Structure 1
């Protein structure tokens, strides 16, 4: 296989998962609103599969919630998008290097995004072949550089009252207590 794995930065705007999938599947970094609608429609169409026990909230509440651009996506949304595109998505956690199965490949260092190959044939043994080794190498390099957000321990400052909080849990508690939802990460 020719090429290298590169990291394409997607703005961390709470819709990064959706825009990353849109980029990988369609080379479009602005797919979040459309993909959020796809997910909501999928969930609404199967209330038995997507029950309150599965979603952590009622089907109807989830469908409204996931269309809010301030809400993050995760495993449920990746699963639905993999079905929607008919592809397996490789999602790497840079902090732990765990792979749950997405990545970009470029034919050469510095190649423009339009040259990126983002979909790979599955090799024998259900791997993506040499691209998988290259992706893991990139993930480990990014882990070493700490280019991830540790949502359990990151430090945030409330943009309204300037109080500092640690981790997503404290931020959610502060938001629920005060109604403040404008946070910035600081170090």
Structure 2
């Protein structure tokens, strides 16, 4: 397919990972509730695999935690969702330009792509031309014999490089944020999370 790889922006509502996966897999940006249930169900069904050492908290506690729409997902959730959909999930990190591939060991025949800026996940899609409507997006790509997705992979990496050049990422240890609700300044992800937990405010803007 000829076209360009584009970044499809997912709302910043603490469920961006789930909704980005939902868009990449199902063209649906409102899958967070459903996918959180899927993850909780998967984890609850296999307490030996998903033990406290693996999850960082007891199995039951994790299941309640991941169902909470305020909680963020990460690597554990992506690996479970790759298996749920039976497709690889490639997550490109803008700051490091690293690509983490989930479900790789299963030799799935298709792959979807996400992009991560240190705080937020968006979906990557192949669009026939700049500005084309989202219904024309291709978000699932066949994995070739060499375990790449062909030229699309190069296009995706170029997009990530371009975003990195524009510094479209957040250095989560040292960035400064201002709360969009009460205008208080915080430094780093830890302080932002603490502020969000104390106040319920989740609308942060980066400022320098």
1:116 paired with 2:105, answer no
Question: Structure 2 length normalisation: TM-score?
Answer: 0.82
Alignment partner, residue 185 of structure 1: 205
1:38 paired with 2:59, answer no
Map residues 19-168 of structure 1 onto 2, 5 A cutoff. Answer: 19-101=19-101, 102=113, 103-158=124-179, 163-168=184-189
**Cα pair 2:180 2:205 within 8 Å, conserved:** no
Question: Structure 1 length normalisation: TM-score?
Answer: 0.91
Calculate the aligned-residue CA RMSD, in Å: 1.8
CA deviation profile, 1:109-168 (whole Å, cap 9, x unmatched): 211101111111111211111110000000111111222233222223457875422011
Structure 1 residues 153 and 67, CA gap change in structure 2 (3 angstroms): same
Q: Gaps (5+ residues) in structure 2?
A: 102-112, 114-123
3-state SS of the aligned residue for 2:44?
helix
**Cα pair 1:40 1:66 within 8 Å, conserved:** yes
CA deviation profile, 1:15-55 (whole Å, cap 9, x unmatched): 10100000000000010011011000000010000000000
**Cα pair 1:156 1:186 within 8 Å, conserved:** yes
Structure 1 residues 145 and 34, CA gap change in structure 2 (3 angstroms): same
1:4 paired with 2:4, answer yes
CA deviation profile, 1:47-97 (whole Å, cap 9, x unmatched): 000000000000001001111111111110000000000000111001111
